[in-house]
Each structure stands twice: as C-alpha cells, then as structure tokens.
Amino acid sequence: MKKHIITFLFSVLAFVYANAQKKSSAQFTELYQNYISIKSSLASDDIKKTSMAAGEFLKTAKTVNSKMIPQSQLVSLQSDAKNIAQAKTIDAQRKTFYRLSDVMIGLAKENKLSDKTVFVQYCPMAKGSWLSNEKQIVNPYYGKSMLDCGSVKSEIK
C-alpha cells in the first residue's frame, strides 16, 4: 500500500513539474518573440511600433512566474520595457534596449527561449549586443543608417 502511495505521489509531482516546465517554456518563448518585435522595430527606426512592441513585452513579463527567473532580472525586464514604451525618442528607446538585451541574453543562456537557434549578435560601433532569430545582421542600435553593422558572436541552441 505504501509503495502505491509513493508511486502515485511521484506520478502527480512529475505531472505537475512537466506542466510547469511547459508553461515556463511558453512564457519564455512569448517573451523572446516580444523582444524580437522590439528589436525589429528599432532596426526599422519606428518609434511607434517599438513602443507598442515594448508594451506587449511588458504585458508578457508581468505574467512570468517570478520563481522561474531571479526577481532582480524580472524587475529589470519590466522596468526596461516600460521605459522603452514611454520613451519620446528612438535614441532613448535604443539606450534602454542595451540593458534589456543584456538581461535577455542572460536568460537565453540559462533557459530555452526558442525551439530554433538563437543568435547573439554584437555591433562594435554601438558596443552593444542583442538576440536574433536569424544569422543575418539587422542592427537595432543604428537602424537603417548602419543596418548590417555587426557580427554573430555566439549561437544558443
């Protein structure tokens, strides 16, 4: 009888853990996709789309379970997204994107953000990194003026 109870409890815990993992993976994937939207909007020099994308990122960040990532990182992501959404200039949005990218790169190294390869890219002119879902450089720090400035620094699979 004891053996059956232990087996049952283990099965329940395994089920709960698997469902929590799926949920966390889905939240990270959505957060990453929102991040990519911010990056793409910055690369196209579109302040309004960047603000909207940052607003969506903020909504998603507010749903992330604080047990999945350190509280300090979660607060930073939310704060940066809010600042990008409220910024009055594309330059101000880009300035905050540096910090948002640094935190997202850290998350990408510790968590699975996508089923596909995630590329860490770097612009020596801007001295900043960002994540991308493609190898091709589309620079969010300079937009159309230097769209292909940068290189792939690493790949996260």
130 forms bridges with which residues in the sheet?
121
Structure confidence by residue, pLDDT tens digits, 36-53: 999 999 999 999 999 999
Is residue 37 one of the residues assigned to a domain?
yes
Is residue 141 one of the residues assigned to a domain?
no
How many domains would you assign to the chain? 1
Is residue 143 one of the residues assigned to a domain?
no
Is residue 6 one of the residues assigned to a domain?
yes
Asked whether the predicted pLDDT for residue 22 surpasses 50, the reply is: no
Is residue 38 one of the residues assigned to a domain?
yes
Structure confidence by residue, pLDDT tens digits, 61-113: 999 887 888 899 999 999 999 999 999 999 999 999 999 999 999 999 999 88
Is residue 75 one of the residues assigned to a domain?
yes
Residue that is written with structure tokens 């596909």 in the block:
116
Round the average pLDDT of the chain to a whole number and report it: 88
CATH number for 96? 1.20.120
pLDDT of residue 6: 56
Is residue 137 one of the residues assigned to a domain?
no
State how far the Cα of 34 lies from the Cα of 29, in Å rounded to an integer: 9
Helix, strand, coil percentages, rounded to 5, for the chain: 65, 10, 25
Range of the domain at 95: 2-112
Is residue 128 one of the residues assigned to a domain?
no
Q: For 44-89, where are the alpha helices, taking DSSP H only?
A: 47-63, 71-86
